[in-house]
Amino acid sequence: MSSVRLAQSYPSIWQRPILHSVDLRIFGLKYFHRCMDCAFCGDQCCEHGVDVDRDNAEQLNGLGDAFETFVGVPREEWFEDKVTADEEFPSRFYLRTRVKGTHCVFHDSTARGCKIHAWSLRQGLDHRTLKPMVSLLFPVTFELGVLIPSTEVLHQSLICAGSGDSLYDGAREELRYFFGPALVDELDLLRESIVPPL
């Protein structure tokens, strides 16, 4: 992995995860960033479920009957039973969403996209307060303090990978939200130093 150490460490808004390095491939690898404008993927990235911080899962469970009805699946079926310890998640634990049929339990099979995202918009909420951070950062993620391309990109299994915006450009505003403008400023400078101008 071609990673470089950042000038400082950047904790998330919850103090975890903390990013201290970046894999330079996020600046060069590309994908179709305008997700809801895509007419060819069938929401492939929603097929496998997603890791959700335990506190985030409890927040979703606490939204009540109206959200449960909107999801269309009983809340006791939203998450796998296993709770995994992981120091990089804000609560130090995460759960995984279940797959129902062919996609994540929160996938909207009629209107496309994520029902957590859609619910947030309908309620006038910032979707980033409810939607899992791992989903929002995709197709970049974090591992042992390093900002890296998601596995699906590296394994070339992501149908929308290969052309379009860089992984970094697609995740840039979410990185700003979760880790602050100083991280984005440093990553912008790093990108400019390694990616030749068009």
Token pair in block for residue 59: 């927040």
Task: Please give the average per-residue pLDDT across 7-33, as a whole number.
Answer: 91
Question: Of 165, 166, 194, 168, which Cα lies nearest the Cα of 179?
Answer: 168
Residue 31: its pLDDT value, please? 67
Question: Of 143, 131, 5, which Cα lies nearest the Cα of 86?
Answer: 143
Tens of pLDDT, residues 55-109: 999 999 999 999 999 999 999 999 999 999 999 999 999 999 999 988 899 998 8
Tens of pLDDT, residues 151-160: 766 566 555 4
Beta bridge partners of 149: 140
What is the percent of the chain with per-residue pLDDT over 90, rounded to a whole number? 69
What is the domain count for the chain?
Answer: 1
70-73 LR contacts (CB < 8 Å, sep 24+):
70/115, 70/118, 70/119, 71/105, 71/106, 71/115, 71/119, 72/115, 73/100, 73/105
**42 alpha-carbon distance from chain centroid:** 18
| Range of the structural domain that residue 144 is part of | 3-194
Burial (CB count within 10 angstroms: exposed 0-12, middle 13-18, buried 19+), residue 194: exposed
Residue 122: its pLDDT value, please? 94
Cis peptide before 17 (omega within 30 of 0): yes
Tens of pLDDT, residues 114-133: 999 999 999 999 999 999 99
Calculate ∠ Cα 146-136-104, nearest 5°: 115
pTM of this prediction?
Answer: 0.87
**Average model confidence (pLDDT) across the chain:** 87
As a whole number of angstroms, the distance between CA 24 and CA 3 comes to 6
Question: Of 24, 86, 101, which Cα lies nearest the Cα of 55?
Answer: 86
As a whole number of angstroms, the distance between CA 26 and CA 174 comes to 14
Angle between helices 181-194 and 167-179 (to 10 degrees): 150
Say whether pLDDT at 181 is over 70.
Answer: yes
Confidence class for position 48, pLDDT limits 50, 70, 90: confident
**98 alpha-carbon distance from chain centroid:** 16
Task: Please give the average per-residue pLDDT across 22-38, as a whole number.
Answer: 73
